[in-house]
Amino acid sequence: MVKHDAGLRVGYWRSVSHFQNAFANEGFIDELAAAAKADPVAYRMSLIGKSPRFQNVLKLASEKAGWSSQAPAGRSRGVALMEGYDTYMAMVAEISMKDGEPVVGRLLNRDTFTVQLIDEQERLVSLVKADLREYGLVRRTGMPSYQGKLTNEEVADLLAYLLTLKGM
């Protein structure tokens, strides 16, 4: 077992490990899609062929977000998919820059009025949504690169294992 102190105490959160596992899995799926030079939504659809619930939520989210059209200039899009307690979820985030520079950090909390991040210098950043023109999630993984460390066969084995976790 590998233990890693994330710097956050999560014992009081519901679904304690669901969001971290989804973040890690989806970040890795994005890296695989990029390595395959595939669209992230199409790549995910190719992996979930035997799961109509996953297909439906991903299709609905991507359609509602206008995924098939090019993101406007200065904006980028990302996608994530997960299941928790038999609830299937998909999210598409679209981001844009403020004065050419994004506010970058790990999402700590968001509610109706605020967004809280831990920035790259490990400082707490609290933003009032009413003060933001818009906000979203940056498509970037905090995981180290697997490139050059795993063979194609090992990546296929890992992907096959991930697909067995929820019977996808």
pLDDT digits (tens, 9 = 90+) for 143-167: 566 677 888 888 888 888 888 876 5
**Residue 6 domain-assigned?**
no
143 near 28, Cβ under 8 Å? yes
Query: Is 133 in the same domain as 164?
Result: no
**Residue 41 or 151, more confident:** 41
Round to whole Å and give the CA distance between 18 and 160: 20
Confidence of residue 140 (pLDDT cuts 50, 70, 90): very low
Provide the residue range defining the domain that includes 27. 13-96+147-168
Work out the percent of the chain whose per-residue pLDDT is above 70. Answer: 65
Query: Is 19 in the same domain as 67?
Result: yes
Round to whole Å and give the CA distance between 168 and 166: 6
Query: Is 92 in the same domain as 156?
Result: yes
Q: Which residues are CB-neighbours of 50 under 8 A, at least 6 positions away?
A: 168
Which segment of 42-51, 91-100, 123-132, 137-146 scores lowest on mean pLDDT?
137-146
Query: Is 74 in the same domain as 120?
Result: no
Query: Is 132 in the same domain as 167?
Result: no
> What confidence score (pLDDT) does residue 55 get?
92
**Residue 110 domain-assigned?**
yes
Query: Is 122 in the same domain as 87?
Result: no
